[in-house]
Amino acid sequence: MRVRTLAVVLLAGGLALTACGKEGTPGESASGPTQQVATDVKVDGSKTFENITKRGKVVIGVKEDQPNLGYKDPTSGKYSGFDVEIAKLIAAKLGFGDDKIEYKAIASAGREQAIINGDIDYYVGTYTINDKRKQQISFAGPYFTAGQDLLVKKSDDSITGPESLKGKKVCSVTGSTPIQKVKSDNLTESSNIVELQNYSQCVQQLEQGAIHAVTTDDAILKGYAAQQPDLFKVVGKTFSKEPYGIGLAKDDKALRDKMNDILEEAIQGDGWKKIYDATLGKSGSPAEKPVIERY
Ligand code: GLU
């Protein structure tokens, strides 16, 4: 199966198949299709691309505790998931293969600052495009749209949607849009809001019975539910729209345009679908193809 996927990718790229992909072939990705690495790439006027080229590697901000999206295997140290594959696709089309990528796990609250500081070249990790964030950074995309949802214990029938959270302890993450919504829409009393750094910490609290619900994007919660299906369930009534973008330096329009071109091509062709099918598509319902918004 992996060999066939590799062959299709190479042939689709118009290349003769000269080598056979084996398990563990360098550059072969852990969770998705192998990307053909572009050569002689130019992104005129992009400061970020200039830095990447000088450095000889791409530094990408990701999540490390979100199964099927951005997940670091504790044993192998390998990153996998939909966001990671999107990050690799962009890197490959910029001319950098898997061996030229360094991942930095950055929690939701640290994303804007990491981009502003130049600690990372770009960020791919369930990062909702919105106007507030656009004041500090810019976004390519969207490459997917999720929606806020709730994760509860499987035995809990008392929580059926956002309107049933009063009197319940609800956990979400600092610097995220879901914690913002819990507060601005008064979904529960402020004394019942538990705010942590990562969603996996919230899930642990739920498992221990210290809270009643974790709230964030359905795509993230489905990943946790799939890991422990006997313990958790996703309520399944989304109550927001969370279009995911790739975060990058605010003033780097040249790189943003290039990334949008790369995403557009992958969406129009079969690149995006292959990534989706190999990752998120395994646990969720089929997704609509995203429409890139240029600005
Ligand atoms: N998509 C939401 C956000 O960007 C929640 C997921 C996350 O915190 O990464 O805030």
Write out pLDDT tens, residues 60-91: 999 999 999 999 999 999 999 999 999 999 99
Q: Compute the distance from residue 126 Cα to the ligand 1 centre, in Å.
A: 5
Query: Is the pLDDT at 5 greater than 80, yes or no?
Result: no
Q: Whole-prediction pTM value?
A: 0.90
Q: What is the pLDDT of residues 116-128, one digit of tens each?
A: 999 999 999 999 9
Residue nearest to atom 10 of ligand 1 (CA): 176
Report the amino acid identity of residue 292: I
Q: Is 128 in the pocket of ligand 1 (CB under 6 A)?
A: yes
Q: Is 177 in the pocket of ligand 1 (CB under 6 A)?
A: yes
Q: Compute the distance from residue 17 Cα to the ligand 1 centre, in Å.
A: 40
Q: What is the pLDDT of residues 136-167, one digit of tens each?
A: 999 999 999 999 999 999 999 999 999 999 99
Q: Compute the distance from residue 146 Cα to the ligand 1 centre, in Å.
A: 10
Q: Compute the distance from residue 246 Cα to the ligand 1 centre, in Å.
A: 12
Atom of ligand 1 lying closest to residue 125 CA: 9
Q: Which domains does the chain have, with CATH numbers?
A: 14-145+243-283 (3.40.190.10), 148-235 (3.40.190.10)
Q: Is 216 in the pocket of ligand 1 (CB under 6 A)?
A: yes
Atom of ligand 1 lying closest to residue 177 CA: 10
Q: Is 80 in the pocket of ligand 1 (CB under 6 A)?
A: no
